[in-house]
């Protein structure tokens, strides 16, 4: 049980959080070390998450989602990450990067066709933005889509795509008008597994998030009808910036969850482990580390909640999302590193979870915009504000 203060919750939120906490402890934690070691995507776990209604949290019930607000959604992500970062990442990518944008930007027909299958978890989603030569600089996308009658023909490749090998529904961005800047020149497409000219490769071995799947998407003369354009032609850049704002709040919650997991283990271990005749927690050097961990976690939670509340209130929240993601992911690196230190040599082994959490936390400083990119977003907002 955490010694951290819980944020104020409604009865409904408290029930959901407690259900997810129990599920994560019972189902995710016991397999987290194994799926990390084997780099195995736990498909069966996603089936269970679907049965619990956790794969469409922010989507209205009419579309087979849970109808939750952002504040509730991020609490669930934090709880999942507390036990298994990989599972939380798969859920966050599926929800924030695929289901939510199809719901937000899709037309009626697209919403009806794709959202219920995704929100119910019958199908899994993957979002293809990053390319071999365009990551932070996503406006430098090289994948192209050329109009041919009522169709578009896609050529290019995407890398590091979460859920790629298990997803059925994909969003991918492509340049549709090279004469325009990224804003105006890029379009998002919805793609289905099995489309001719669209293939998926396994990704490379990775440092952390090893139980989360990733892969490469390849488009070779891939023909899709114009009904697969998500939103308007030329709106891709603007739409994925909006999508990433939402995604960043999720990654910030995920980072917070990893830190809470490492903190919980550290508090317990520091009281059990004896050195020089006393529990190591009796040493101020260790107790102060626990204090610093708690401070970082509480601050991150408040920042994440602030961004989520602004989103729910329909207020601008790009800056707050970037602040939350930057702070929470850097905090998670510090907390998980300190957790290993508190565990000493045992922390360096794979059995004690904290080294896995440390490796998983690193993703949070890279995915959905690196820490440097968050600083760009925040400083641009500051400087525009002062104009
Ligand atoms: C586990 C994992 C899962 C992922 N899942 C997905 C996914 O589902 N879909 C998807 O599309 N992508 C995904 N990504 C890709 C991720 O979003 C990119 O790796 C990230 O945006 C960085 O891009 P890059 O790797 O090309 O690095 P680069 O953009 O090449 O950056 C390299 C370094 O340069 C720095 N840098 C770049 N530009 C600037 C600048 N202007 N100022 C200062 N510093 C700068 C960066 O901060 C970084 O430190 C995933 C990545 C990981 C690790």
Contact 330, 293 (CB under 8 A): no
CB distance 160 to ligand 1 below 6 Å: yes
Could you give the CA distance from residue 201 to residue 174 in angstroms, rounded to a whole number?
Answer: 19
- Tokens encoding 39: 């780099």
Residue of 146, 166, 167 lying closest to 156 (CA atoms): 146
Task: State the catalytic residue, choosing from 27, 79, 216, 368.
Answer: 368
Place of tokens 């599972």: 87
Is 368 known to be catalytic?
A: yes
CB distance 214 to ligand 1 below 6 Å: yes
CB distance 250 to ligand 1 below 6 Å: no
Q: Which atom of ligand 1 is nearest to the CA of 372?
A: 47
CATH superfamily, domain at 11-119? Acyl-CoA dehydrogenase/oxidase, N-terminal domain (1.10.540.10)
- Whose Cα sits closest to atom 25 in ligand 1? 135
* Tens digit of each residue's pLDDT, the chain (387 residues): 455 667 788 999 999 999 999 999 999 999 999 999 999 999 999 999 999 999 999 999 999 999 999 999 999 999 999 999 999 999 999 999 999 999 999 999 999 999 999 999 999 999 999 999 999 999 999 999 999 999 999 999 999 999 999 999 999 999 999 999 999 999 999 999 999 999 999 999 999 999 999 999 999 999 999 999 999 999 999 999 999 999 999 999 999 999 999 999 999 999 999 999 999 999 999 999 999 999 999 999 999 999 999 999 999 999 999 999 999 999 999 999 999 999 999 999 999 999 999 999 999 999 999 999 999 999 999 998 655
CB distance 208 to ligand 1 below 6 Å: no
| Dihedral class, residue 367 (left if φ above 0, else alpha if ψ from -120 to 50, else beta) | beta
Could you give the CA distance from residue 65 to residue 113 in angstroms, rounded to a whole number?
Answer: 14
Domains of the chain, residue spans: 11-119, 125-235, 238-385
> 125-235: which CATH topology?
Butyryl-CoA Dehydrogenase, subunit A; domain 2 (2.40.110)
Q: Which residues contact 144 (CB under 8 A, 6 or more apart)?
A: 154, 155, 156, 174, 175, 176, 178
CA angle 175, 139, 56 (to 5 degrees): 85
CB distance 159 to ligand 1 below 6 Å: no
- Whose Cα sits closest to atom 26 in ligand 1? 135
| Dihedral class, residue 209 (left if φ above 0, else alpha if ψ from -120 to 50, else beta) | left
Taking the centre of ligand 1 as the mean of its atom positions, its distance from the CA of residue 22, in whole angstroms, is 34
Could you give the CA distance from residue 224 to residue 251 in angstroms, rounded to a whole number?
Answer: 31
Could you give the CA distance from residue 334 to residue 256 in angstroms, rounded to a whole number?
Answer: 11
CB distance 173 to ligand 1 below 6 Å: no
Q: Which of 217, 360, 370, 378 to mutate to test the pocket of ligand 1 (most atoms within 8 A of CB)?
A: 370
Pick the CATH number of 238-385 from 1.20.140.10, 3.30.530.20, 3.40.50.720, 1.10.3720.10: 1.20.140.10
Taking the centre of ligand 1 as the mean of its atom positions, its distance from the CA of residue 99, in whole angstroms, is 22
Alpha-carbon dihedral sign for residues 296, 298, 303, 304: positive
């Amino acid at each position: 049980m955490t010694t951290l203060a819980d944020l104020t919750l409604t009865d409904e939120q408290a029930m959901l959080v407690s259900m997810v906490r129990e599920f994560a402890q019972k189902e995710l934690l016991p397999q987290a070390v194994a799926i990390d070691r084997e780099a195995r995507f736990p498909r069966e776990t996603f089936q269970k998450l679907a049965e619990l209604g956790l794969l469409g949290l922010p989507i209205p019930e009419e579309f087979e989602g849970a109808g939750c607000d952002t504040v509730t959604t991020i609490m669930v992500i934090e709880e999942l990450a507390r036990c298994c970062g990989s599972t939380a990442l798969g859920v966050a990518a599926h929800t924030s990067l695929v289901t939510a944008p199809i719901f937000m930007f899709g037309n009626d027909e697209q919403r009806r066709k794709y959202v219920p299958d995704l929100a119910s978890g019958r199908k899994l989603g993957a979002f293809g933005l990053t390319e071999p030569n365009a990551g932070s600089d996503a406006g430098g996308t090289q994948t192209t889509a050329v109009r041919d009658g009522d169709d578009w023909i896609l050529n290019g490749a995407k890398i590091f795509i979460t859920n790629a090998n298990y997803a059925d529904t994909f969003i991918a961005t492509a340049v549709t008008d090279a004469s325009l800047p990224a804003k105006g020149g890029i379009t998002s497409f919805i793609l289905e597994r099995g489309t001719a000219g669209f293939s998926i490769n396994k990704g490379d071995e990775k440092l952390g998030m090893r139980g989360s799947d990733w892969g490469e998407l390849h488009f070779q003369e891939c023909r899709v009808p114009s009904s697969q354009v998500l939103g308007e032609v030329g709106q891709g850049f603007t739409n994925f910036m909006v999508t990433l704002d939402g995604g960043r709040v999720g990654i910030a919650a995920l980072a917070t969850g990893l830190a809470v997991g490492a903190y919980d283990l550290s508090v317990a271990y520091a009281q059990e482990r004896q050195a020089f005749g006393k529990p190591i927690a009796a040493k101020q050097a260790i107790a102060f580390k626990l204090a610093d961990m708690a401070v970082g976690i509480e601050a991150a939670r408040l920042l994440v909640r602030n961004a989520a509340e602004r989103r729910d209130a329909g207020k601008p929240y790009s800056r707050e999302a970037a602040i939350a993601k930057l702070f929470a992911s850097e905090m998670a690196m510090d907390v998980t590193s300190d957790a290993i230190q508190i565990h000493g040599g045992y922390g360096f082994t794979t059995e004690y979870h904290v080294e896995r959490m440390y490796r998983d936390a690193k993703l949070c400083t890279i995915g959905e915009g690196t820490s440097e990119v968050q600083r760009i977003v925040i400083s641009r907002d500051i400087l525009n504000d002062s104009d």
